[in-house]
Amino acid sequence: MPEPQWDPEPGRVIAWGAMGIRLTANAVFRPLRTALPKGRLAVLACCCGWALSMAIPRTALAAGGAGAAAARPIAKPILFNTPEADAICALLQVFPTNNPWNTRIDDWPLHPDSQAIVAGIGADKPLRYNLDMAFILVPPDQRRVALTNVGYADESDQGPFPIPDEMPIEGWPLSRPTDASGRLLTLDDVQRDRLNQGGDRHGIVVDPVNRMLYEFFAVRKTDAGWTAMQASVFDLKSNALRPAGWTSADAAGLPIFPAVVRYDEIKRGLISHALRVTVRRTRREYVAPATHYASRLTDRNLPRMGERLRLRRDVDIRGFPSEVRTILAALKTYGMFVADNGIEWAISVAPDSRIPVMHESLRRIRGSAFEVVVSPGSVGATAPADGK
């Protein structure tokens, strides 16, 4: 493991261990002695009055160190809305640090048509969120299964895939429907779409040991096995994009998991990656890291798939609840990618009951609070309106 940086900025990743485990700086010094529940241990390091403190499964450390052959970090599938998943996700390096999802854009220049594009999305529309993207963590030896009836086979990755029986479907468990008798549907009912509700039905599987991501669109369980309209595999150790023109489980050809707001991030008060956002109308173009468009419209005042939006630096976020401030701070620092067609200004949040309700607070932010940015050196880029 490389030597930590001295006097690091709060929240900055300062060291990496095996399996992509990342250590982040705390702004407040913590004592070296700490009490942790059985089965966990503290990893503590000090430098110039700074400290690192985190709890991770004991087997995860063993697997990342000399005992890798004797222990595995995950023995069975773990749902996203659990303390075990929180601990693993908090330490998982999702894509390299120089990946677009992890790149700060707070000083990027404006797109020359920023104001027109924001107006095309809806300057008066509110910021919102969908409690949509559930996921599950699986062990490296998870049994692999084949998919049948893949609709977009030419733009899908080949299986088999490590899909566990417990894989949640988009919205589970918060958007849990009832049948005609008022009975709550089980996960198996939802997986099989017994009410024939349709929808995007995303499924997300993460292998944190091998740092691999598997995402599915319109996925269903049947008596013959799993079916899906599209399947995408992403190597979280790589910056590789999908082939040009290929879609993914998201319309833009982007991964979904790296963009989801998770409970562990809300609790920590730090989101260090870009978010995803849907808009009602997009242009028949895409911009990297997107690889696919999903529109016939050519209006230049509409965003391309992969367009990067940032909350303006002059927006005052001090009066918002802490969980909302965490999201808004990330939107100022990392922004969000246009990833799919849908309701305007809707970001993705894990459907986790531990995350407080944020609808009214987020709706105080309007589309006019955002701007479109481009990477430094892009032709036609301009400085932010405030001149900073």
Mean pLDDT of 44-48: 34
The two three-digit tokens of residue 109, written as one number: 């220049």
Strands 346-349 and 275-279: antiparallel
Cα–Cα distances (Å) from 373 to 44, 248, 287, 321, 335, in that order, read: 38, 24, 12, 27, 9
Could you tell me which residue, 128 or 36, shows the higher pLDDT?
128
Task: Determine what percent of the chain is predicted with pLDDT higher than 70.
Answer: 79
What pLDDT score does 175 carry? Answer: 87
pLDDT for position 134: 98
Beta bridge partners of 337: 276, 308
In this structure, which amino acid lies at residue 310?
Answer: R
Q: 25-54 burial, b if ≥16 CB within 10 A, otherwise e?
A: bbeeeeeeeeeeeeeeeeeeeeeeebbbbb
Residues for the chain: how many in total?
A: 388
User: What is the C-alpha separation between 225 and 301, in angstroms, rounded?
Assistant: 44
Average pLDDT over residues 178-185: 91
**pTM confidence score:** 0.82
Bridge-partner residues for 24, per DSSP?
A: 13
Find the mean pLDDT for residues 233-262.
98
pLDDT, tens digit, 9 for 90 and up, residues 275-334:
999 999 999 999 999 999 999 999 999 999 999 999 999 999 999 999 999 999 999 999
Q: In angstroms, what CA-CA distances link 76 with 56, 85, 147, 297?
A: 16, 12, 21, 46
CA distance 310 to 68: 41
Q: Quick: pLDDT tens for 97-120.
A: 999 999 999 999 999 999 999 999
Check residue 150 and give its pLDDT: 82
Euclidean distance between CA atoms 256 and 160, whole angstroms? 20
